[in-house]
Amino acid sequence: MTAESIIHRELRARIAELTTSFPPRSTEPREFQGARFDAGLAWVHFPLGLGGLGLSRSLQGYVEELLAEAGAPDNPARRIGIGLGMAGPTILAFGTEEQKQRFLRPLWTGEEVWCQLFSEPGAGSDLAAVGTRAVRAGDDWVVNGQKVWTSSAHEADWAILLARTDPDVPKHAGMTYFLVDMTDPGVEVRALRQITGEAEFNEVFLTDVRIPDTHRAGQVGEGWKVANATLTNERVAIGGDDSVRESGMIGRIASTWRERPEVRSTALHDKLMTSWVESEVFRLNGIRVRQKLAVGAPGPESAGLKLVFARLAQTISGLEVEVNGEDGLRYSDWTMTRPDVVDFTGRDPGYRYLRAKGNSIEGGTSEILRNIVAERVLGLPSEPRADKDIAWKDVPR
């Protein structure tokens, strides 16, 4: 029997024990997810005692298949995606043992929702320009500043925060990474209503917020290094989801094409076939990136994945409006809402067309991602950066 066969057998036995002790049909979903975490079946590549078994990440898909066959409940991934895809991997890589023990389990079960306090009005594409200040005060840090475009801040219990701790050094060197309790005094969340009518994004104002040093992730001044790990995982989370052929938006428009012959034309057919092929290339490239991720940290290729995702989402949503004709212009509900999740597939074409406009901004603007691909994947010369060696406080604004 091969080593792989032995591991598969052990995983099957572990899953059988889990589903016997916690029958999926009768166990409350959050309780089941907690038991799954304790059994090491949350992230199998995480260490023992932290939701994993220390195995290869490539085995995660096998575990998911077995759990699905057993009728196990899904993790509410859309609602807690920032925790699962960004906070979790970052805490594992840079957090203290106490932080890992404290945060990973409730993050996995969905007991605690996370958001990301990175972008600012003056530091969006140029994230290293953040001006939110964190000043040491004994065993705490006192934070003042403003963040913007924060997804799910109105739902979040915790946040990952990038703040300026040393203005006297170049901008990339003077930042530190923190874990913030969103219920602390001084944290104010304000809705940002979007073109879709809803407000999934927020402004967050931080006024004399005290963060204990025990909630710092990584070393003081190494915030850029920690944040880059978060951003790389974010781009995989946004653009590299595990999908089957003709899933997502291309699947919806293909179904419309098959079911409504009256909408067909030669011009639209050519556009649809081009988008279909590009979607399939994107899906297969996503598999390749996830395979690389299975044997290590995601590389700069994740930037290319997210870049193509944004372009395809906007192209396909525009084509869907064309294919649906008058129906494509309909918008069912413009009521101001504060959604738990972003639901692309459960809404009408008009919603998808408008919401897709944000895909080229969130998770890193397409312009910045092109620079990453050019410099770190293709090896082209980097753009001139006049402020690279200047103290942050001396950079003109």
Where in the sequence numbering do the catalytic residues fall? 234
Instruction: Quote the CA–CA distance of 108 and 85 in Å, as a whole number.
Output: 10
* Residue 204 three-state SS: strand
Instruction: Quote the CA–CA distance of 337 and 329 in Å, as a whole number.
Output: 21
Instruction: Quote the CA–CA distance of 169 and 153 in Å, as a whole number.
Output: 30
Half-sphere exposure of 11 (CA within 13 A, CB side): 25
Instruction: Please give the C-alpha separations between residue 19 and each of 39, 53, 63, 240, in angstroms, as whole numbers.
Output: 11, 18, 13, 29
Q: Which two tokens stand for residue 195?
A: 């073109």
Instruction: Please give the C-alpha separations between residue 321 and each of 58, 194, 261, 352, in angstroms, as whole numbers.
Output: 38, 19, 16, 9
- Alpha-helix residue ranges (DSSP H) falling in the chain: 3-21, 29-38, 60-69, 81-82, 88-94, 97-109, 223-239, 248-259, 266-294, 301-324, 349-355, 366-372
Match 């994947």 to its residue by tokens: 377
Q: Which two tokens stand for residue 257?
A: 């094409």
Instruction: Please give the C-alpha separations between residue 175 and each of 130, 141, 203, 219, in angstroms, as whole numbers.
Output: 8, 13, 21, 10
Instruction: Quote the CA–CA distance of 377 and 336 in Å, as a whole number.
Output: 42
